[in-house]
Chains A and B, each alone.
Chain A
Amino acid sequence: AQKVTQAQTEISVVEKEDVTLDCVYETRDTTYYLFWYKQPPSGELVFLIRRNSFDEQNEISGRYSWNFQKSTSSFNFTITASQVVDSAVYFCALSEGAGNQFYFGTGTSLTVIP
């Protein structure tokens, strides 16, 4: 079974629309970390955010916001007023405190149409 599921393979939105990227994770650990990365066409993954399992506070950074809900094992990412530069593949990832692994989802390809 996949540890991190990003059910949305591809999303297209028109510029200035809001978009939410879903991430569902699976773990039995009580200590774990969740991450989001952005991979633009240039290839390198860019770190966006890290969350530990004890901090369920939502976070906002500019046009980006993250909604962490342990009850549903979800860590969703919302981009408000999307821009063309937001076009990229976005990856959600999980690391477990007891393990020694990083688990990535398959990514969501976001296209923002001008």
Chain B
Amino acid sequence: ETGVTQTPRHLVMGMTNKKSLKCEQHLGHNAMYWYKQSAKKPLELMFVYSLEERVENNSVPSRFSPECPNSSHLFLHLHTLQPEDSALYLCASSQAADYSYEQYFGPGTRLTVT
């Protein structure tokens, strides 16, 4: 199995829909991350989880709601999104939520909000 998987790979949703992004890591890591990647902008760190506990929330709007039921799974629940939320959403994991560790990324979910 590849290290970090994400589903779905593509998602189109209306502004009133509710959907969820799923991430799973098979590396035995203890930390997981959500990033937003928009064109021509640096990756934006959204959330950090360490051993299922959220340790970082970078002023992300409440229409994005993360969930980490265990150290291998991470979800991003989406509701009432805006067109500017269209982006590539990347999940990553690392051995620990210590920024000396490199992160391993999934292929991302390409989200389009119509």
Name the one of A2, A44, A47, A104 contacting B43, with C-beta atoms under 8 angstroms. Answer: A104
Q: In the complex, how many residues of chain B place their beta carbon closer than 8 angstroms to a beta carbon of chain A?
A: 23
Report if A35-B102 is in contact (Cβ < 8 Å); known contacts: A100-B48, A104-B42.
yes
Name the one of B55, B106, B110 contacting A44, with C-beta atoms under 8 angstroms. Answer: B106
Report if A100-B108 is in contact (Cβ < 8 Å); known contacts: A47-B102, A106-B40.
no
Instruction: Give Cα A43 to B39, complex, Å.
Output: 13
Q: Which B-chain residue is minimally distant from A95 (CB atoms)?
A: B99
Report if A47-B99 is in contact (Cβ < 8 Å); known contacts: A102-B45, A106-B40, A106-B41.
no
Instruction: Give Cα A97 to B56, complex, Å.
Output: 15
Name the one of A42, A52, A91 contacting B100, with C-beta atoms under 8 angstroms. Answer: A52
A-side interface size class = 20 to 34
> Hey, which bits of chain A sit against chain B, CB under 8 A?
2, 4, 33, 35, 37, 42-47, 50, 52, 91, 95-97, 99-107
Given A43-B107, A95-B100, 16 more pairs with CB closer than 8 A: A2-B42, A33-B99, A37-B105, A43-B90, A44-B106, A44-B108, A45-B90, A45-B92, A100-B48, A101-B56, A101-B99, A102-B45, A102-B99, A104-B43, A106-B41, A107-B42
